[in-house]
Amino acid sequence: MWKVRLTAVLMAAVVLLVGCREVDNTPVVRFSVWGDPLEQAAFRAVADRFEKLNPHVRVEINGLPDKTDFSASLATEFAAGTPPDVFVLNYRRLAQFYNQDSLQPLGPFLAQSDVLDESDFYGIALDAFRDSQGTLVCIPHNISSQVIYYNRDLFDKAGVPYPTASWDWEQFRQAAIALTSSDHNGDGEPDQFGLGMEPTILRMAPFIWQNGGELVDDWENPTTLTLDSAESQQALSFVIDLSVIDGVFPNASQEAVQSQGNRFLNGNIAMYINSRRITPTLRESAEFNWDVAPLPHGERAATILHSDGYCMSRNSEVSAVAWQFIEFAVSEEGQQIASQLGRAVPSLKSVATSPYFLEPTQPPANAQVWLDVVPDLRLLPRLEHWSQIERKAAVTFELAFLGRQPLIISINEIQATSAERFMPLR
């Protein structure tokens, strides 16, 4: 958990409505989201502005801090026949709900909009939310990606050059080693780590792609993972060796004492791989100079799309006003509001390239990185049980990260347990 010092303004912004507002003849849009208080503040600000512009509509927000709890709650609500009208969903979870016929495709709504057009959005963000027939199911509101957050002060102290757009794996590795310091205070662990990165498919996929590997045998009709290919194994070995041989990561015991996110926030990790979502927390709480840089490249450049979309329940009884809310949330004004709170990389090209997002007076100074890497973005497979595959892989890869079992055994276990879970987005 990030340690957050919230201002009074943000505390007020994230107060959530409980129960329906009892306003006669006023339609209520039930809206579910997840995220920490700073993230939820962005959604609340968008809803508040929508309500001000549309006083005949109310938006009732149900916000949960944990994404796993959110997904479980959403599944329970759909099973009980009481889902929210609108909710925010990552494209990696799309098949889980769409394959159950739970979502109302929004492509037809967008086609009739006088406010928005598909050409306004980054294409890959839309593609992430299309079904197998090309129908747009949800409307993306962000187009984030993994980048390197780095502590400029620690780089300066160690005399290590800042990351550049052209750095490669070996330069990345040498920087991480140089930024990992010895145990000077006698507590049995390095006083500072060069790198923070969770051992998950989400974090390691770009390295696989950069080395010419793939996650699945056929992206359109996947039947198996391909982590055991030569290219994938070589990429995974590079990442595992950073931990086992080079010792630049905190291990599991050290992670249990303090998370990598908090270590970076507290100035004890020099580089941290994450998406745009941690920017508001760093702006609020970091007491050091920081910036962002692209991931290092292997044989080619590649990074991973992080995108969430506004979705509508198929059986919403207020579908017209629910679409009205979604249309505003992903419009220029809606995305400008969310961008100023720092959480999202806008999916609208006009907002992403504007000062609302680039914000030259706010860190990170190099926010342009998220736009520069758009051509290098790749999608994860959209499978009905992808979340279970991710969870199993995280547990199993951690054993390899700790040096407790050979990488090939971890790979084989992940391949075997995922074999019966390949149900693609229909």
Tens digits of residue pLDDT in 209-227: 999 999 999 988 899 999 9
Residues 167 and 284 in one domain: yes
Contact assessment for residue 53 and residue 357, using Cβ atoms and an 8 Å cutoff: no
| Number of neighbours of residue 6 by Cβ within 10 angstroms | 16
Do 99 and 148 fall within a single domain? no
Work out how many domains the chain is built from and give that number: 3
- Per residue in 23-59, pLDDT tens? 457 999 999 999 888 889 999 999 999 999 999 999 9
Say how many residues make up the chain. 426
Strand 303-306, strand 377-378: pairing: parallel
65 shares a domain with 166: no
pLDDT band at 2 (very low <50, low <70, confident <90, very high): very low
In a domain, 301, yes or no: no
- Both 389 and 412 in a single domain? yes
Note whether 134 and 62 are same-domain residues: yes
- Nearest residue to 129 (alpha-carbon basis) of 386, 337, 380: 380
Q: What pLDDT score was predicted for residue 422?
A: 85
Q: Both 149 and 271 in a single domain?
A: yes
Based on the fold, state whether residues 131 and 225 are members of the same structural domain: no
| Structure confidence at residue 421 (pLDDT) | 74
User: Residue 266 has what pLDDT?
Assistant: 94
Q: What is the pLDDT of residue 12?
A: 35
Predicted confidence at residue 18, as pLDDT, reads: 33
Mean pLDDT of 168-179: 98
Q: Based on the domain organization, do 254 and 285 belong to the same domain?
A: yes
The pTM (predicted TM-score) of the whole model is: 0.91
Question: In CATH, what number is assigned to the domain containing residue 185?
Answer: 3.40.190.10
Please say which residue of 275, 295, 315 terminates a domain: 295
Residues 115 and 24 in one domain: yes
pLDDT value of residue 184:
61
Helices 230-244 and 407-418 pack at an angle, to 10 degrees, of 130
Look at residue 402 and tell me if it is in a domain. Answer: yes
165 and 284 within one domain: yes
Q: Using a CB cutoff of 8 Å and minimum separation of 24, what contacts does 318-322 make?
A: 318/27, 318/28, 318/29, 318/85, 319/85, 319/104, 321/27, 321/29, 321/54, 321/57, 322/29, 322/85, 322/86
Token look-up 């796993």 returns 68
CA dist 6 and 276 (Å) reads 19
pLDDT band (50, 70, 90) for residue 258: confident
The answer to whether residues 293 and 17 touch, using CB atoms and an 8 Å cutoff, is: no
Q: What are phi and psi of 135, to 5 degrees?
A: -75, 135
Same domain, yes or no: 203 and 163: no
Confidence band, pLDDT 50/70/90 cuts, at residue 356: very high
Question: Is residue 409 a part of any domain in this protein?
Answer: yes
pLDDT tens for 57-94 read 999 999 999 888 999 999 999 999 999 999 999 999 99
Looking at per-residue confidence, does 187 or 49 come out higher? Answer: 49
- The parent domain of residue 423 ranges over 199-231+385-426
pLDDT over 70 percentage in the chain: 92
Same domain for 203 and 193, yes or no, is no
Q: Does some domain include residue 341?
A: yes
